[in-house]
Amino acid sequence: MSTSEDSPDVPIICPECETTTRIPAEDVADSLERHNERLHDGEEIAHVDPDLAEQLQNLVAEDLGLLD
């Protein structure tokens, strides 16, 4: 079973709170949801670093053959 120590950290940005943090990949969705619910009335303000999100999208698209 995987633990947080085995999971890569994902950079999370909240421009409204002016914070940046790194969260284990397995905890990202829950952490973002909790943060946004608690501090931003559920509005999706905090998010994964856009540069990383774009890199992941490109890797997935390439893996699926969508860029051919």
- pLDDT, tens digit (0-9, with 9 covering 90-100), for 14-65: 999 999 999 999 999 999 999 999 999 999 999 999 998 898 888 888 888 8
Is residue 2 predicted with pLDDT exceeding 50? Answer: no
Helix (H, G, I), strand (E, B) or coil at 65: coil
State how far the Cα of 13 lies from the Cα of 10, in Å rounded to an integer: 10
Is 34 contained in some domain? yes
> What's the total number of domains in the chain?
1
User: Nearest-CA neighbor of 15 among 49, 41, 38?
Assistant: 49
Is 52 contained in some domain? yes
Is 1 contained in some domain? no
Q: What is the pTM for the complete model shown?
A: 0.72
Is 44 contained in some domain? yes
Helix (H, G, I), strand (E, B) or coil at 27: helix
Tell me the chain's radius of gyration from C-alpha atoms. 14
Expressed as residue numbers, the domain containing 58 is: 9-63
User: Nearest-CA neighbor of 7 among 21, 25, 22, 23?
Assistant: 25
Is 68 contained in some domain? no
Is 3 contained in some domain? no
